[in-house]
């Protein structure tokens, strides 16, 4: 299609068919956030240190009369500040991009996936997608969310091997990890912290969350097989697809050694996460070490390793910069000191709503709060001291309030632009935020209906 034809086609589109660039979309959200600072007054809860954590004191909210107005120039200052505050995510995206570029250059990962899919049979595409979704879901349940960032490109290669788009692989990975983390029965960041505040046994009431996570992953698998595989998706020019027919793939001795280093590195990372409290910096450091060792195993010189790392990082730069721009939203909210005011106002919506509807409303409120407080553990520390007493007042069990919090906080991580982990995964999957929303929003409607049904059942069985 010529440039003139493209321009005419663009002009003939309806306003709702013209989707802005992700950078433009998030900047528009940033402007809306700035406008919100003139409507929502500044306010603050009192906070105290308890068991090494900063918690909110219920009923301590006060408006702050002396907070200055944010100038329009501060919108632009917020962008570099956001880039700085999101640097953890930016750097792990760059390093992981370099690691997988080296892995792709060696051919080890592609050969392994080609051999595995050839043995399973490409005609079993739906089984492979379902198995992959549940495997990624297991990682979300057991390992966490951001800790799995580097596994996304593997799903993209698997999708390519079975003749599907990068969007299918990214949905399988990001959706699986996100659902697993959101509804995990053993999530220490959300369930563990919230149950500690509610004075419940850690990870008690796991049966309902287990049912929710298994049924939601099954629903996601069906959704990918029936809907996402049929979606039109234009692959980025720099996306690495399978380069041979499946029966041509073989694993060489060097490939096996390379994969051994990769698997050993992932195992060491998991040990660090579970026993040493590793987070983004340590995981990124492990990825860097893995990239260097894999380069040495494959005979790359120091200069060649650096070159490959730089090439890999350059391919994920647009997605990484989106993360920094999204973080500027949080900068404006914090500078205006309106986050506590929003939490206070939304929390009040639950009071006075009787029965099972209070659990559904609690999940909606937590989902809205997640846009402003994207950290799961941070949100638990801010909202649970306020909402646990609310649960007692409306006749909702504390256990059900925590599950409602988990549903609202966790599921919205898949769509809110302030979730750095999600944007980092999308960057590695080479799927734009706008394309992601188009693919995942119909599923979000379905999974919320399923989760709300679970909350209603939980209420009536005395969960």
* pLDDT, tens digit, 9 for 90 and up, residues 232-248: 888 876 555 667 777 88
Is residue 132 within 8 A of residue 152, CB to CB? The reply is: no
Average pLDDT over residues 35-53: 86
- What is the C-alpha separation between 78 and 82, in angstroms, rounded? 6
Tell me which residue has tokens 């995990």: 184
What tokens were used for 458? Answer: 């939980």
What tokens were used for 189? Answer: 């960041």
Widest pairwise Cα distance in the chain:
70
Q: Which residue has the higher pLDDT, 382 or 398?
A: 398
pLDDT of residue 421: 86
Q: What would the pLDDT profile of 304-350 be if each residue is shown by its tens digit?
A: 999 999 998 888 888 788 888 888 888 998 899 998 898 888 888 88
pLDDT of residue 19: 57
Count CA within 13 A, CB hemisphere, residue 185. Answer: 12
Q: What is the pTM of this model?
A: 0.80
Residues above pLDDT 90, as percent of the chain: 41
- What is the C-alpha separation between 409 and 360, in angstroms, rounded? 13
- Residue 54 φ/ψ, nearest 5 degrees: -90, 120
Is residue 33 within 8 A of residue 332, CB to CB? The reply is: yes
Tell me which residue has tokens 């404006």: 332
What tokens were used for 318? Answer: 């647009």
Strand partners for 62: 44
- Residue 56 φ/ψ, nearest 5 degrees: -80, 140
Mean pLDDT of the chain: 86
- What is the C-alpha separation between 61 and 365, in angstroms, rounded? 18
pLDDT of residue 246: 79
Give every CB contact of residue 14 below 8 A, 6+ residues apart in sequence: none
Is it the case that residue 447 has pLDDT exceeding 50?
Answer: yes
Is it the case that residue 38 has pLDDT exceeding 80?
Answer: yes
pLDDT of residue 249: 84
- Considering only CA atoms, which of 51, 58, 70 is closest in space to residue 343? 58
3-state SS of the chain is: CCHHHHHHHHHHCCHHHCCCCHHHHHHHHHHHHHHHCCCCCCEECCEEEECCEEEECCCCCEECCCCCCCCCHHHHHHHHHHHHHCHHHHHHHHHHHHHHHHHHHHCHHHHHHHHHHHHHCHHHHHHHHHHHHHHHHHHHHHCCCHHHHHHHHHHHHHHHHCCCCHHHHHHHHHHHHHHHHHCCCCCHHHHHHHHHHCCCCCCCCHHHHHHHHHHHHHHHHHHHHHCHHHCCCCCCCCCCCCCCCHHHCCCCHHHHHHHHHHHHHHHHHHHHHHHCCCCHHHHHHHHHHHHHHHHHHCCCCHHHHHHHHHHHHHHCHHHHHHHHHHHHHHHHHHHHCCHHHHHHHHHCCCCCCCCHHHHHHHHHHHHHHHHHCCCHHHHHHHHHHHHHHHHHHHCCCHHHHHHHHHHHHHHHCCCCCCCHHHHHHHHHHCCCHHHHHHHHHHHHHHHHHHHHHHHHHHHHCCC
Give every CB contact of residue 321 below 8 A, 6+ residues apart in sequence: 23, 83, 90
Q: What would the pLDDT profile of 93-104 be if each residue is shown by its tens digit?
A: 889 889 988 988
pLDDT of residue 15: 41
Q: Binning pLDDT at 50, 70 and 90, where does residue 11 land? A: low
- What is the C-alpha separation between 399 and 462, in angstroms, rounded? 10
Q: Which residue has the higher pLDDT, 389 or 127?
A: 127
């Amino acid at each position: 299609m010529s440039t003139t034809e493209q321009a005419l086609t663009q002009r003939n589109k309806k306003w709702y068919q013209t989707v802005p660039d992700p950078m433009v979309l998030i900047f528009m959200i940033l402007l809306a956030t700035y406008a919100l600072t003139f409507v929502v007054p500044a306010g603050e809860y009192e906070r105290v240190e308890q068991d090494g954590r900063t918690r909110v004191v219920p009923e301590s909210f006060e408006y702050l009369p002396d907070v200055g107005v944010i100038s329009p120039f501060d919108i632009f200052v917020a962008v570099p500040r956001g880039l700085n505050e999101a640097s953890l995510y930016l750097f792990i995206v760059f390093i992981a991009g370099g690691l997988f570029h080296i892995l792709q250059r060696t051919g080890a990962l592609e050969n392994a996936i080609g051999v595995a899919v050839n043995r399973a049979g490409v005609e079993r595409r739906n089984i492979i997608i379902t198995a992959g979704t549940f495997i990624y879901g297991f990682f979300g349940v057991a390992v966490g969310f951001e800790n799995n960032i580097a596994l996304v490109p593997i799903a993209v290669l698997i999708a390519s091997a079975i003749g599907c788009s990068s969007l299918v692989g990214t949905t399988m990975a990001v959706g699986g990890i996100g659902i697993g983390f959101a509804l995990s029965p053993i999530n220490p960041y959300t369930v563990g912290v919230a149950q500690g505040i509610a004075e419940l046994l850690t990870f008690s009431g796991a049966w309902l969350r287990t049912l929710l996570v298994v049924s939601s992953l099954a629903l996601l698998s069906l959704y990918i097989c029936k809907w996402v595989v049929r979606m039109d998706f234009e692959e980025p020019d720099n996306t690495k697809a399978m380069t041979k027919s499946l029966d041509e793939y073989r694993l060489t001795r060097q490939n096996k050694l390379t994969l051994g280093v990769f698997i050993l590195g992932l195992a060491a990372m998991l040990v660090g996460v579970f026993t040493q409290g590793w987070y983004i910096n340590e995981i990124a450091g492990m990825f860097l070490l893995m990239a260097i060792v894999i380069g040495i195993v494959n005979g790359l010189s120091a200069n060649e390793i650096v070159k490959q790392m730089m090439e890999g990082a350059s391919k994920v730069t647009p997605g990484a910069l989106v993360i920094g721009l999204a973080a500027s939203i949080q900068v404006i909210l914090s500078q205006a000191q309106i986050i506590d005011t929003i939490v206070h106002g939304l929390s009040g919506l639950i009071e006075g709503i009787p029965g099972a509807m209070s659990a559904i409303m609690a999940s909606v409120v937590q989902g809205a709060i997640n846009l402003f407080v994207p950290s799961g553990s941070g949100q638990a520390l801010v909202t649970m001291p306020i909402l646990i007493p609310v649960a007692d007042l409306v006749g909702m069990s504390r256990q059900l309030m925590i599950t409602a919090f988990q549903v609202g906080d966790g599921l919205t991580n898949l769509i809110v632009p302030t979730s750095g982990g999600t944007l980092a995964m999308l960057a590695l999957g080479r799927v734009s935020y706008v394309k992601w929303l188009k693919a995942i929003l119909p599923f979000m409607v379905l999974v919320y209906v399923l989760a709300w049904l679970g909350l209603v059942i939980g209420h009536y069985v005395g969960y």
